[in-house]
Structure formats: structure tokens, C-alpha cells
């Protein structure tokens, strides 16, 4: 196969090499070059005239060396250097276009069209001129060095690579940053391995042998390596040749774009029934045409206005051009005629790095007779044989013309927060897995916009309706209200209900009639978000050629093999047919599983202990504020105690999370999972379960348990001789809101600070380590601006195999805050929206500036996280229903308005929610009253009988009526929301009808193209076989060349008929004096007509 990039740089190498050589030597060098290796017969020496021209330029350069002092190291002027640069540019452009034009006329795997060398005489006996005939213009040479037909420019004289199928990306990368290539500037660096040699280490000899064997195995697989050293660090640069890419693209079953010439199909638009109906009515109803014209005028004006705003929101197509969707097919070398394999951009850098990593993960490093299961770069890094393995960024963020710089400037920039993300370019640079994460994050943020608007509207409604809320006016404005409340703790004193005026106002902002609507809306929103995401991900899956994608069979993890190294292989894997060790169930598997499960339960219990400590702290803080030297009002004491306890809880959360992450990874390693997918799923489940308990335990406590089992004055239910916490007269919803807001907003703010400064800190640590290494080795500090790309990327942080895990975890926990407890915090979606806008750009900046370039990975969806999100959405329906029913005062207000108060108002509702207690019935309260003889009774929040009743202080019938209404509301709420969720799922299919039809259409068209091309190839093979048995009378006086001439003519004509040539090109080849066909124009035309008539 023809490698266009190799042709360019190989020519440049021979044109600028220092020693002079002859023409014969140049052909020998060309035959030994990678270009000649990748060309298949009969294209053995395809660039002869081009080489002769390069020899002339080389001689000119040699003469300039003696005349210009620039070549002797003195700065006498840039004249010769400018000449050499210009010649390099010209030669590279011409070789690219030459190779592309040759690719249009011949298939390298089956062609028999001979391209004779320029030194050979022509068939008509004319003296060769050193130039071949141009097929499109017989009078012009095939490769004129300055032919404008091959190197075209626009009006400004700039070369336009769109005239050739091979873009300028390869050449631009070499010119912008030569360290992206090998020393020959020919082969791109697809992967880098780095290691340090520590002579004083006892394992260095063994590590050296492992590196030698490992790199030899890489070479045996066809990879090309080149070693370099800098700052006591060795770098092994790896290049994947075209043949390796072809072989492993077929093994990995990659879907690659097909030739555009095969897919020029007309796209038919689906008819719009609504538009057709409107057109019908406009023709039938009088005067409808006038209305139609006016409507079109108004819609046109609105469209213009919207386009003006949307132009500044959508992706700027001048910077990130829209990528046209192309037909793709699973790559196969048997069907290589379907693909533009000659294009240098056919295998992108992301695909190349993925193929190289696939090879690195499966190559052995000891001899085969030493260990059968020792392989993989991950295990070598874990053992310290190599320090790092990574692909390269395409340049610095400050270099113009690189994708990294474009993404940093126009995607990772916080001032660009309002623009859509260039997802296609993100996918091309980082791979599908990271591209899909940013697609999900962007879509989640986009959906939060609607939830935020509704949440803000509900909050504003509660703010403006606060002044008309009767219970708040009874507490704050009614001068006759003088209600003495029972103490809130054993050390607290009696207090006046007026002290909770501000607290009551805050409570109404959360607990108001809009709360039910917003809870129902958020349940509907959660379902809508997941269903629309499935629909949107189906479009992305199709656009990124992931439809029908299935991961290949995974090999065992290196850590798994290391733990089983002492166990001999006992079973043969069914897929790979390789002997693998089996984990002993009774001796290793069962004890590890039981131990892991026990530790997880212990950690969950530790989270509840931390919760209990926070509860005790809040009770102590409330008592201290009430009985201190300057006692605070009750409302201020409650708010301060709740806020400080929430901050203490947040600190405990981060301490426990740090411990949970390390213990969970250690426990998962003990469980001996064989593959990385099994390991990641188990680790994800453990960490999320622990994080769920850690973050949500305190919130669940306040929402469903605090103040529910307190008892009543004189007979409190105590825990460890401590009286349980009580809610205020308005319930615990305000405390729940404060706890939720501090944990959610505080967690997001702290994570944002960590994401900004933690990578910078670790990069400083790495820089200090490198500086200390230079100091101990007496190595002078080099100029950092001259560091090669592979050295600069080595100093970046490793992204890791689970680099996206903390990002997904953070967003999924936030999704829980937004959905599970949204009834207690209507502004949660708004704060989540603000965080995500910043999070998206900070994650992008972190990837581009602080981390090595991740290896491209193909995934079909977001994996196990979708199932977790679905479970959270279903749980949110239950929690919001119970919060509204049991935590808020929504149900008691409805019962009072429609059952107790016949006027349907809330007048007297405050006294309705309070019960009375006689102070004398409790010695503790009687001692607290002391000399305050006027305090004979106090009030507390509950529905119990008064002291005058025979069954005093027992639960009243109203309590059971309200309890029944609460349970009834939960049942109705759950069923209504569940019905809505079912309808939403039923109405929104996972894939649109248009997309499903388009996929079916593409599959059909692809199959038709393959069948058609296979038919052409079969016809050509039949003709070739029939020509081989053609009986031709043999004359003894005839030479061998004359005997084969009829067959050669027939095969050449058959080849022309199977080529995708235009009529102009066909006529030029047939009628011109062209050495390509090897026959005259008249005979060729006769054979073509005969073939077409048959």
C-alpha cells in the first residue's frame, strides 16, 4: 500500500542528505526506504524522474555549501536557508500530490499497469525525456516539478490541500513540532515508553533484560522503535507502520470511513405531514394564503433573530468545521478497496495510539520458558521496569495550528462557557470514552437549565407570597401571641415562640404549596433526562460509528496475574486458548470475599458513628448557646448549631472518603477479579455505596428520623441517657435544607479548588524531583524551551485507567442531591448548574494542561453509571413523597383547611399544631420554672390530648387522621409519578424513527456497495483466469514478450474497466500515447467497445 506521508519525507531525506551520491545509489536508497517496502509489485521504482530532479537540487545544495558561509556555521544571512526551506516545501507538496494522482489510477494489490522507469526506451522507439506522460494530458509530463495542475494555489497563492485527497496535517505537524516524529522526520511517534536506569538497584539487571525482551517482541510484531536519552531518562519512541495498523484494525474490528466516491448517494427528506396539511388548507380555505404569507414573514423575522443569538452559542464552524457523516464499514484487508487507505489521515492519532496500546498490553517481557503469563506494559510499570507509557500531545497550548491549542482556547476557556462543546473534535483528540463523558456532562448541564428555571420560579413564588402566609403573621406580627414553649433540651430553658420568627419565614420559603409541584416536576424531569439521554446517546453512537460495537475479549489484569504468580496454570481459557492460573476458592476467593464484605459493613457502621457524633455535637452546641453567658435567641441558636454541625460533618466526610477510596481499592484487589471491567464494576459499586452512606446518612436522619420518636414533656425517649433532638414548631425541613445546602455547595466548592490547584501542586512535586535528580547527578539545567515533546509530556501527570471515575462519581452524587432531596432545597438545580458550567471547562483545562494525553478507548455508553442514575431517579420518587408527607407541614395544613376550619383558611392553624403540657406534671420542668410562678403550662409541637383529658398526653384522633392522610398522599404521589414515568418512557423511544431508518439505510447501502465491488472484482478475476488459458499459437522465432502481449493487453483493458475513472480520464488513457496501457490508442478503443458490447 502507498503511504503518502512516507513518500514526502523519504524524498526530503534523500534531497538533503550531506554526502553526495550517484544516481544508482539513489535508486538503491529508495529501494531500501519504507516507501519501497510498502509498495507492492509492479511499483518497485515509481519515483524515478522525481529522484533525478532531487539529485539536481542536491547538487545545487552542495554547490551552495561552498559559497555560502551559512553552511560553515557563520551567520552570514538567511539566503541559502530560505532556499532550502522553500525546496523542502515544494518537494513535499509535489510528492504528496504525485502519490495521490498515482493512487487514482491503480490498485496496488491487483494492478498490472506497468510504470516503466524513465531511463527505459518507450514503445515507439522515441528517446526518453526523463518525464512520464500525464494521463489527463498526454502532452504534459506525469510529474512536472512546477506543474500548476498538481500544486494548485488559491488567489493569495497559498497551497490548497483540498485538491489532493491527502491533507497537509502530516507535513504541518512535522514543521510545527519535529519532536512528534523520529529523527528521520518520516515516522510519527505513536507511543512513548520512559524509564530510568538505576545502576545501584539490585533488580536493574533483571529489569534491563525484561526491557530488551519486551522491545524485541514489539519489533517482532512490526512496530518500529527509536531510543533517546535526556536528563538521565531513556525514552523509547514507538511507531506503528501502515501494515501493523492494517492488521490490528482488522483484529479490533474497527469501523473505518469508506471511500466517498462509493457513497455518493442522494438523501431524500422525509415528508412532513403537518406541513402538507397546512399547504392543503391554505389552498382550500379562502384568505388562508394571506395569513400564510404573513405567518411566513413573522417566522422569517424570528428565525433571523434566533440565528443571530444561536450563532454565538453553537460551535464556531470556522474554527471547528462540521464533520460530514461518512459511511463506515468494519475494516478488512480483504475489502481494502472500500477504504481510503492511502490517505495519511485514514488512521488518526487516536486510533494509532489505541492500536499500539493494544499491542503493548499483550506482549511478553520474559522468555517464554520462564513464565507463560508475564506480559503487558501495565505490569512492567507496576514492577518499576518502565516509569511511564503514554501517547503524545500534538503540541503546546500556545502553538498555533495544533488541535490542543484550539481546544484550550475555544473549549477549555471559562469565558466560552456559553458555547456548545466541539464534541467531534474532542472525540478525535481524546477518544470516544472521554468524548462521551463530556457529551453526557454537557447534556446533563443543558437539562439542568430547565430544572433551575422552574426551581427559581418556585422560590420567587414563595418569596412574594410570604407576607400573606397566616402562620408567619401569627408568629411575627400578632402582638397578642405570647406562647411559652417547653425546653428543647435537658439544659435549656423555656422560650417564647416569637423568637422563631425568622426561622418560620425561612421555613415557608421551602415548605409552601409550590413544593409539591416542584417535587412532581423533578420526578418527571429525572425520567425525561434519562430517556432523552438514551435517545441522544443513540445519535452520538451512530455519529461516532459505535452502533453494534462490542468490546473484545479482555486479558487478565497484571495485578491479578502477579498475585497468582506462585500458582501454576491449571485451566485453559476458552477464548484465548491459553493456560491460566485458577484462584483457589476455599483458600483465597472465599476468605477474601468474606473479609471484603465485613470491612465494607464496618465502614458503613463507621459512617453511622460519625453521624451520631455530629448529632451529639449539635445537641451540645445548642445547649451551650442557650445557657451561655450571653444566651442567643432560639432561632439564631438553632441556625448556628445546625450550620456548624453541617461544616463538621463535611470535614468528616472528606476524611472518611479518603480512607474509603484506598480501602475500597485494596479490598477489590483482594477479591481477585480477573478482568479490568470486573474490577472497575466492583470498585465502583463499593465506593458509591460508601459515598452514598457517607454523604446522605445525615440528610436521611434529619429528613425521616429527627424529632419523630422524641416522646413528650415529662416522658422523653432517651438514647444513652441523652434526650433526642427535636424539630422546631415548623418542622425539620429548614434544618434539612441547611444541611443539604452546606454539604452540596461546600463539597462542590472544595472539589473545584482541588481540581484547580491539586494538579499544579503535583506538577511542582514532579519538577522538584527532576531538579533533585539533576543535582545528584551533576547534570546542568537545560533550556526548558528546547525540551522535546516527549520530554515535556513526561513531566505531566498520568491520567490513569480510572481517570474518569472521580469525575463521574462527583456528578452522580450531585445528581442525587438534585433529585433525592429536591423537595427540601428547590435551588439545588440552580447551584448544580453553576457548578457544572465551571466544572466542564475546568475538567477540559485539566486534561489539556496538567495530564498526559489519554489513550483513546472505545465504549458504547457511560456504562454502570446509567444504571446508578436510573436507581437514583426511582429512589427520588419515594424520598420526595415521604419528605412532603412526613417532614413538611403540607398535609397538616391541608387537613386543617379542608377538615377542621370550615372557612378554608389557615386562621388558628398555629394553635392547632401545638399541644399543651402542665409544668407541675414534670419535676424536671417544675425545677426549671423556679420562681417563675406565672409559667404553669408550656406548648410543644405534637397532636396529643391536653392535661384536662382523662387520657392526657396520649396521641389524639387528629394524629391518626393526619397519619392516614400522610400515607394516602404517599400512595397517590408514588402511583401518579410512576404512571407519568411510564408514559414518558413509552412516548419517547430510545432511538428516533429517522435515526433507525438511517441506520438501516446505511447498512443496506454498505452491503450493496460491497456486493457491487465484489462483483467487479469477480469479473476481473474470471477474465484473468480465462486469459491465462487462452490458446495462442507459439512461433519458435517469437520471444517471450511477444507471446504474453495479447494477454497483457486484455488484462490492462479489464483493469481500466474496473477502475473508478471518469470519462475524461478514460479517454485520455485510451487515446493518448501513454506507457501506462502498453498498447496503442486504436487497439485499446477497439477492445473497450468490444468489452462494453459484450
Report angle CA 1018, 1019, 1023 to the nearest 5 degrees.
115
Q: How far apart are CA 4 and CA 95, in angstroms?
A: 8
Average pLDDT estimate for 700-722: 78
Whose CA is closest to 101, among 38, 144, 157, 44?
144
Higher-scoring residue by pLDDT: 463, 96:
463
Residue 42 preceded by cis peptide, ω within 30: yes
How confident is the prediction for the chain on average, in pLDDT? Answer: 72
Average pLDDT estimate for 623-628: 63
Q: Kindly report whether the global pTM for this prediction surpasses the value 0.85.
A: no
Model pLDDT, residue 904: 82
Confidence of residue 204 (pLDDT cuts 50, 70, 90): confident
Q: Which residues pair with 917 in a beta bridge?
A: 938
Do residues 391 and 190 lie in contact, with contact meaning Cβ atoms separated by under 8 Å?
Answer: yes
> What CA–CA distances, in Å, run from 391 to 383, 413, 793, 967, 1077?
21, 24, 9, 59, 45
Coil, helix or strand at residue 735: helix
| Per-residue 3-state assignment (H helix, E strand, C coil) for 61-118 | HHHHHHHCHHHHCCCCCCHHHHHHHHHHHHHHHHHHHHHHHHHHHCCCCCCCCCCCCC
> What CA–CA distances, in Å, run from 966 to 73, 157, 437, 875?
91, 79, 41, 18
Model pLDDT, residue 436: 92
Report angle CA 881, 882, 885 to the nearest 5 degrees.
90
Range ranked top by mean pLDDT from 123-127, 422-426, 488-492, 683-687: 422-426
Q: How far apart are CA 997 and CA 991, in angstroms?
A: 10
Model pLDDT, residue 581: 66
Determine which of 551-560, 854-863, 885-894 has the lowest per-residue pLDDT on average.
551-560
> What CA–CA distances, in Å, run from 788 to 22, 231, 566, 584?
35, 12, 42, 49
What sign does the dihedral 738-739-744-750 (CA atoms) show? positive
Model pLDDT, residue 5: 39
Cα dihedral angle (765, 769, 771, 777), rounded to 10 degrees? 180
Burial degree of 998 (CB within 10 A; 0-12, 13-18, 19+): middle
How far is C-alpha 180 from the geometric centre of its chain's CA atoms?
Answer: 24
Average pLDDT estimate for 449-474: 90
Model pLDDT, residue 783: 54
Model pLDDT, residue 629: 46
Do residues 52 and 23 lie in contact, with contact meaning Cβ atoms separated by under 8 Å?
Answer: yes
Residue with cell string 406580627: 477
Q: Over the stretch 159-203, which tens digit does the pLDDT of each residue have?
A: 333 333 344 454 555 565 788 888 888 888 999 999 988 777 778
Q: How far apart are CA 374 and CA 361, in angstroms?
A: 11
Model pLDDT, residue 281: 58
User: How does DSSP classify residue 257?
Assistant: E
Domain ranges of the chain: 4-149, 191-263+326-390, 431-892, 893-987, 994-1093
Q: Over the stretch 347-395, which tens digit does the pLDDT of each residue have?
A: 888 889 999 998 998 887 775 555 555 678 888 888 888 999 999 998 8
Q: Over the stretch 811-851, which tens digit does the pLDDT of each residue have?
A: 999 999 999 888 888 899 999 999 999 889 999 998 999 89
Model pLDDT, residue 616: 78
Q: Which residues pair with 190 in a beta bridge?
A: none
Average pLDDT estimate for 424-430: 91
Q: How far apart are CA 351 and CA 515, in angstroms?
A: 50
Model pLDDT, residue 549: 64
All cell numbers assigned to 199:
545502576
Model pLDDT, residue 550: 59
Do residues 2 and 103 lie in contact, with contact meaning Cβ atoms separated by under 8 Å?
Answer: yes
Model confidence at 1060: pLDDT above 90:
no
Model confidence at 107: pLDDT above 70:
no
Model pLDDT, residue 705: 83
Confidence of residue 274 (pLDDT cuts 50, 70, 90): low
Model pLDDT, residue 145: 30
Do residues 235 and 791 lie in contact, with contact meaning Cβ atoms separated by under 8 Å?
Answer: yes
Model pLDDT, residue 152: 35
Average pLDDT estimate for 847-860: 88
Q: How many CA atoms lie within 13 A of 109 on its CB side?
A: 12
Q: Over the stretch 655-678, which tens digit does the pLDDT of each residue have?
A: 887 787 778 888 888 887 777 777
Average pLDDT estimate for 322-337: 81
Whose CA is closest to 471, among 810, 73, 913, 882?
913
Confidence of residue 434 (pLDDT cuts 50, 70, 90): very high
> What CA–CA distances, in Å, run from 712 to 141, 783, 798?
105, 77, 59
User: How does DSSP classify residue 1073?
Assistant: -
> What CA–CA distances, in Å, run from 158 to 92, 154, 161, 344, 594?
15, 6, 9, 21, 70
Amino acid at each position: 500500500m502507498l503511504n503518502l506521508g512516507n513518500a514526502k519525507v523519504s524524498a526530503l531525506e534523500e534531497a538533503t542528505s550531506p554526502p553526495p551520491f550517484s544516481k544508482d545509489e539513489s535508486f538503491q536508497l529508495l529501494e531500501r526506504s519504507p516507501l519501497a517496502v510498502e509498495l507492492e509489485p509492479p511499483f518497485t521504482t515509481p519515483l524515478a524522474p522525481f529522484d533525478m530532479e532531487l539529485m539536481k537540487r542536491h547538487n545545487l545544495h552542495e554547490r551552495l555549501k561552498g559559497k555560502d558561509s551559512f553552511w560553515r556555521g557563520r551567520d552570514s544571512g538567511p539566503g541559502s536557508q530560505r532556499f532550502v526551506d522553500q525546496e523542502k516545501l515544494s518537494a513535499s507538496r509535489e510528492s504528496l500530490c504525485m502519490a495521490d494522482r498515482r493512487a487514482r489510477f491503480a490498485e496496488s494489490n491487483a494492478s498490472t499497469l506497468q510504470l516503466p522507469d524513465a531511463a527505459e526506451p518507450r514503445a515507439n522507439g522515441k528517446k526518453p525525456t526523463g518525464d512520464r506522460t500525464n494521463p489527463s494530458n498526454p502532452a504534459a509530463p506525469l510529474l512536472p516539478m512546477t506543474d500548476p495542475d498538481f500544486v494548485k494555489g488559491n488567489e493569495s497563492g497559498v497551497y490548497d490541500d483540498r485538491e489532493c485527497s491527502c491533507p497537509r496535517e502530516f507535513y504541518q505537524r512535522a514543521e510545527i513540532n519535529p519532536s512528534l516524529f523520529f529523527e528521520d522526520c518520516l515516522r510519527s511517534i505513536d507511543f512513548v515508553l520512559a524509564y530510568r536506569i538505576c545502576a545501584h538497584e539490585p533488580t536493574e539487571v533483571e529489569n534491563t533484560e525484561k526491557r530488551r525482551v519486551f522491545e524485541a517482541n514489539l519489533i517482532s510484531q512490526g512496530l518500529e522503535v527509536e531510543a533517546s536519552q535526556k536528563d538521565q531518562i531513556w525514552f523509547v519512541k514507538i511507531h506503528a507502520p501502515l501494515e501493523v495498523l492494517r492488521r490490528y484494525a482488522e483484529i479490533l474490528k474497527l469501523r473505518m470511513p469508506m471511500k466517498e466516491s462509493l457513497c455518493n448517494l442522494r438523501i431524500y427528506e422525509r415528508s412532513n405531514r403537518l406541513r402538507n396539511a397546512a399547504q392543503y388548507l391554505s389552498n382550500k380555505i379562502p384568505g388562508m394564503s394571506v395569513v400564510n404569507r404573513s405567518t411566513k414573514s413573522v417566522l422569517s423575522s424570528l428565525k433571523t433573530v434566533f440565528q443571530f443569538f444561536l450563532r454565538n452559542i453553537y460551535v464556531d464552524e470556522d474554527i471547528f468545521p462540521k464533520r460530514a457523516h461518512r459511511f463506515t464499514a468494519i475494516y478488512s484487508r480483504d475489502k481494502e478497496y472500500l477504504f481510503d487507505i492511502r490517505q495519511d489521515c485514514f488512521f488518526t492519532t487516536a486510533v494509532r495510539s489505541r492500536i499500539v496500546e493494544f499491542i503493548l498490553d499483550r506482549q511478553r517481557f520474559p522468555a517464554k520458558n520462564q513464565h507463560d503469563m508475564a506480559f503487558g506494559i501495565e505490569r512492567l510499570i507496576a514492577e518499576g521496569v518502565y516509569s511511564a507509557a503514554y501517547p503524545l500531545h500534538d503540541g503546546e497550548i500556545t502553538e498555533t495550528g495544533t488541535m490542543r491549542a484550539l481546544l484550550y482556547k475555544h473549549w477549555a476557556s471559562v469565558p466560552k462557557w456559553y458555547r456548545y462543546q466541539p464534541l467531534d473534535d474532542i472525540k478525535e483528540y481524546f477518544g470516544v470514552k472521554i468524548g462521551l463523558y463530556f457529551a453526557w456532562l454537557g447534556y446533563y448541564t443543558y437539562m439542568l437549565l430547565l430544572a433551575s428555571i422552574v426551581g427559581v420560579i418556585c422560590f420567587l413564588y414563595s418569596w412574594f407570597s410570604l407576607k400573606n402566609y397566616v402562620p408567619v403573621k401569627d408568629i411575627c406580627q400578632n402582638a397578642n401571641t405570647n406562647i411559652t414553649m417547653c425546653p428543647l433540651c435537658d439544659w435549656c430553658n423555656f422560650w417564647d415562640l416569637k423568637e422563631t420568627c425568622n426561622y418560620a419565614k425561612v421555613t415557608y420559603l421551602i415548605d409552601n404549596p409550590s413544593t409539591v409541584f416542584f417535587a412532581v416536576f423533578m420526578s418527571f424531569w429525572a425520567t425525561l433526562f434519562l430517556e432523552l439521554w438514551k435517545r441522544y446517546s443513540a445519535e452520538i453512537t451512530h455519529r461516532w460509528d459505535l452502533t453494534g460495537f462490542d468490546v473484545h475479549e479482555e486479558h487478565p489484569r497484571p495485578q491479578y496475574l502477579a498475585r497468582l504468580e506462585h500458582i501454576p496454570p491449571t485451566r485453559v481459557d476458552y477464548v484465548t486458548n491459553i493456560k491460566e492460573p485458577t484462584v483457589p476458592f476455599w483458600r483465597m476467593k472465599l476468605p477474601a470475599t468474606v473479609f471484603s464484605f465485613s470491612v465494607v459493613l464496618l465502614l458503613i457502621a463507621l459512617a453511622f458513628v460519625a453521624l451520631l457524633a455530629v448529632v451529639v455535637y449539635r445537641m451540645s452546641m445548642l445547649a451551650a448557646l442557650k445557657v451561655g453567658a450571653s444566651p442567643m435567641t432560639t432561632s439564631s441558636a438553632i441556625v448556628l448549631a445546625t450550620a456548624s454541625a453541617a461544616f463538621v460533618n463535611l470535614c468528616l466526610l472528606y476524611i472518611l472518603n479518603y480512607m474509603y477510596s484506598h480501602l475500597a481499592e485494596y479490598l477489590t484487589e483482594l477479591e481477585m477479579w480477573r478482568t479490568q471491567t470486573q474490577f472497575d464494576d466492583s470498585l465502583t459499586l463499593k465506593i458509591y455505596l460508601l459515598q452514598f452512606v457517607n454523604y446522605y446518612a445525615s440528610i436521611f436522619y434529619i429528613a425521616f428520623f429527627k424529632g419523630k420518636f422524641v416522646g413528650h414533656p415529662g416522658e422523653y425517649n432517651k438514647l444513652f441517657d441523652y434526650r433526642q433532638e427535636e424539630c422546631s414548631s415548623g418542622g425539620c425541613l429548614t434544618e434539612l435544607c441547611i444541611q443539604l445546602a452546606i454539604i452540596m455547595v461546600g463539597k462542590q466548592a472544595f472539589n473545584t479548588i482541588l481540581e484547580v490547584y491539586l494538579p499544579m501542586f503535583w506538577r511542582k512535586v514532579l519538577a522538584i524531583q527532576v531538579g533533585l535528580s539533576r543535582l545528584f547527578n551533576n547534570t546542568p539545567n537545560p533550556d526548558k524551551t528546547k525540551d522535546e515533546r516527549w520530554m515535556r509530556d513526561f513531566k505531566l501527570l498520568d491520567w490513569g485507567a480510572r481517570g474518569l471515575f472521580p469525575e463521574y462519581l462527583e456528578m452522580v452524587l450531585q445528581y442525587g442531591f438534585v433529585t433525592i432531596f429536591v423537595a427540601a432545597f428547590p435551588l439545588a438545580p440552580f447551584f448544580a448548574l453553576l457548578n457544572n458550567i465551571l466544572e466542564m471547562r475546568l475538567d477540559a483545562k485539566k486534561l489539556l494542561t496538567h495530564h498526559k494525553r489519554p489513550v483513546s478507548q472505545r465504549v458504547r455508553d457511560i456504562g454502570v453509571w446509567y444504571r446508578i442514575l436510573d436507581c437514583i431517579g426511582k429512589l427520588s420518587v419515594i424520598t420526595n413523597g415521604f419528605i412532603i408527607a412526613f417532614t413538611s407541614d403540607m398535609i397538616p395544613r391541608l387537613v386543617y383547611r379542608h377538615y377542621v376550619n370550615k372557612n378554608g383558611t389557615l386562621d388558628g392553624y398555629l394553635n392547632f399544631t401545638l399541644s399543651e403540657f402542665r409544668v407541675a406534671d414534670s419535676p424536671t420542668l417544675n425545677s426549671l420554672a423556679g420562681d417563675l410562678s406565672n409559667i404553669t403550662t408550656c406548648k410543644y409541637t405534637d397532636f396529643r390530648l391536653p392535661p384536662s383529658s382523662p387520657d392526657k398526653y396520649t396521641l389524639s384522633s387528629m394524629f391518626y387522621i393526619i397519619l392516614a392522610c400522610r400515607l394516602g398522599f404517599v400512595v397517590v404521589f408514588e402511583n401518579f409519578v410512576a404512571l407519568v414515568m411510564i408514559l414518558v418512557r413509552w412516548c419517547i423511544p430510545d432511538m428516533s424513527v429517522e435515526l433507525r431508518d438511517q441506520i438501516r439505510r446505511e447498512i443496506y447501502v454498505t452491503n450493496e456497495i460491497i456486493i457491487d465491488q465484489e462483483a467487479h472484482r469477480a469479473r476481473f478475476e474470471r477474465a484473468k483466469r480465462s486469459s491465462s488459458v487462452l490458446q495462442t499459437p507459439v512461433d519458435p522465432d517469437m520471444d517471450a514478450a511477444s507471446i504474453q502481449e495479447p494477454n497483457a493487453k486484455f488484462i490492462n483493458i479489464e483493469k481500466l474497466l474496473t477502475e473508478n475513472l471518469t470519462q475524461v480520464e478514460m479517454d485520455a488513457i485510451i487515446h493518448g500515447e501513454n506507457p501506462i496501457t502498453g498498447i496503442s490508442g486504436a487497439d485499446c478503443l477497439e477492445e473497450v467497445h468490444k468489452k462494453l458490447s459484450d
